[in-house]
């Protein structure tokens, strides 16, 4: 069974390896429903946010079970991620070798517009950790 601490990594795996974390309480002000279940998703520009939400939503039952209730998703654009969260992005990158060494979970890579990468694909790929999405036209290298 998935544990709460696995949720960010599993979600990251569903959305092409984008950095994901539980929102640190020091970054939140005030109280709201779902505060303890707020996931921050980085490197997600507005046009990508809806497909990302849909990819996460398709797995929501097991994610919500692990999280203890409905997830609240807060997105950060590529620019905002770079300018305000570079430290976390670097830390997340450093986790990749550790994650890749773990026993293969049944994660399905997801990249926009890439055939066969959706979680509802009848023949999902099984990878130790999803590779990063290939760069598309207009992406920064």
Partner 1 sequence: MPRVLLRQLVRAPKAQRAPRRSEKGYYRHDSLPDDAARSGILTDDRRRDLMQLYGWRIKADYHDDPVEFEEADRAAELARRLVEGLLE
User: What residue ranges bind partner 1 (CB under 8 A)?
Assistant: 23, 27-30, 32-35, 37-38, 45-46, 49-50, 53-54, 57, 69-70, 72-77, 80, 84
CA-based torsion, 25, 27, 33, 38: positive or negative: negative
Burial class (CB in 10 A: 0-12, 13-18, 19+), 119: middle
Report, in Å, the least distance between residue 128 CB and partner 1: 30
CB of 12 to partner 1, least distance (A): 17
Give the nearer residue to partner 1 in terms of CB position, either 33 or 137: 33
Of 42 and 129, the one with the shorter C-beta distance to partner 1 is: 42
SS3 of residue 37 by DSSP = helix
Whichever of 41 and 107 has its CB closer to partner 1, that residue is 41
Pick the closest to residue 81 from 30, 26, 140, 134 (CA basis): 140
- Smallest distance from partner 1 to CB 33, Å: 4
């Amino acid at each position: 069974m998935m544990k709460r601490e696995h949720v960010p990594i599993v979600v990251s795996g569903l959305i092409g390896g984008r950095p994901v974390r539980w929102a640190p309480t020091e970054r939140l002000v005030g109280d709201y429903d779902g505060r303890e279940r707020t996931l921050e998703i980085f490197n997600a520009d507005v046009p990508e946010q809806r497909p990302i939400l849909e990819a996460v939503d398709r797995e929501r039952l097991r994610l919500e079970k692990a999280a203890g209730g409905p997830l609240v998703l807060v997105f950060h654009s590529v620019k905002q991620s770079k300018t305000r969260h570079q430290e976390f992005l670097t830390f997340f990158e450093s986790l990749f070798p550790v994650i890749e060494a773990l026993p293969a979970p049944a994660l399905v890579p997801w990249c926009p517009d890439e055939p066969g990468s959706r979680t509802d694909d009848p023949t999902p790929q099984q990878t130790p950790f999803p590779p990063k999405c290939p760069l598309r036209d207009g992406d920064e290298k």
